[in-house]
Amino acid sequence: MTSDSAHRLILASGSPRRAQILYEAGLNFEVRPANVDEDAVLYGESNIERAVQALASAKVGAVGGTGTEEYVLGADTVVILDDRVLGKPESKDHAKEMLGRLGGRDHDVITGIAVADLSGQVTTSFVRTVVTFNELSESCISDYVSSGLPLDKAGGYGIQDSAYDPVARYDGCYLNVVGLPMCETTKLLKISGFLLARELTCQGHSVAADGSVIRSFKFRENHS
C-alpha cells in the first residue's frame, strides 16, 4: 500500500517507532533525522503544548521543507509528571527512578506534530493522552531496565512493552504514547495537501468499561 502523493514525505526524526508507525500505515517516506537542540527549544517555552509544537517545527526546519518536491513531518513526544518533563533516561539507574516515580499514578503524554507543505508552510498541532501506570515491583523494574527497552524512550517506558505491562489504562490516543498519533498526523497531512491512498486511523482510542486497556490495536516494536 502506498500513498497517492507524487511528492516525497520526509520523516524528520530518527525514532524507529515513528518510522514503524508510518510504515505500517502504508506510507512511502524517507527518514532524515533532524539535528536540533531539543532542550533549548523545550525549556525556552513555558507552555508545554506550544513547546512540543515548536520542537516539531524546529525538526521540520532543520531538514529542509523549502523545495517543491517534499513534504516534511516532524514530531516530538514528552511525558509530564507533576508538571515536570520526563525525558529519556540518562542511565539505567535513572530509568529505575523514573519507573518508580510513575508507579500507580496518572501522567500526561503529549506529542507535538508539524508538517511542512510544498511551499514550506508549516502547520502544527498536538495530542494529549492521560496514562495510568501500573505499580511495578522492584524485580519487574530491574528486569525491564535490564532489557534495555526503557533507555531510548521518553519517560523510560513504552506502552507497547507488554511483557512488562507498564500501563494500567489510558484515555486518548494509543499511538500518541508510542510516539506518533496517526489521527492528528493524518489531518495535518491532508491540510498540507499530501494525498493519501486510504483513510488512516489510530485505533485504540477507547478504554474498556472496567478501565483496562483495549488491546484491539497491536503495535509490536521491531527490534531487528
Tell me the C-alpha distance between 46 and 53, whole Å: 12
Question: Of 4, 37, 39, 76, which is the active-site residue?
Answer: 76
For the beta carbon of residue 203, count every other beta carbon within 10 angstroms: 15
Tell me the C-alpha distance between 57 and 46, whole Å: 17
For the beta carbon of residue 24, count every other beta carbon within 10 angstroms: 15
Q: Which residues of 170-183 are buried (b: 16+ CB within 10 A; e: fewer)?
A: bebbbbbbbbbbbb
Closest CA to 101 of 170, 150, 49: 150
> Is 76 an active-site residue?
yes
One-letter identity of residue 4 = D
Tell me the C-alpha distance between 194 and 165, whole Å: 37
Tell me the C-alpha distance between 150 and 160, whole Å: 11
Element of type H or E holding 168: strand 167-171
Catalytic annotation, residues: 76
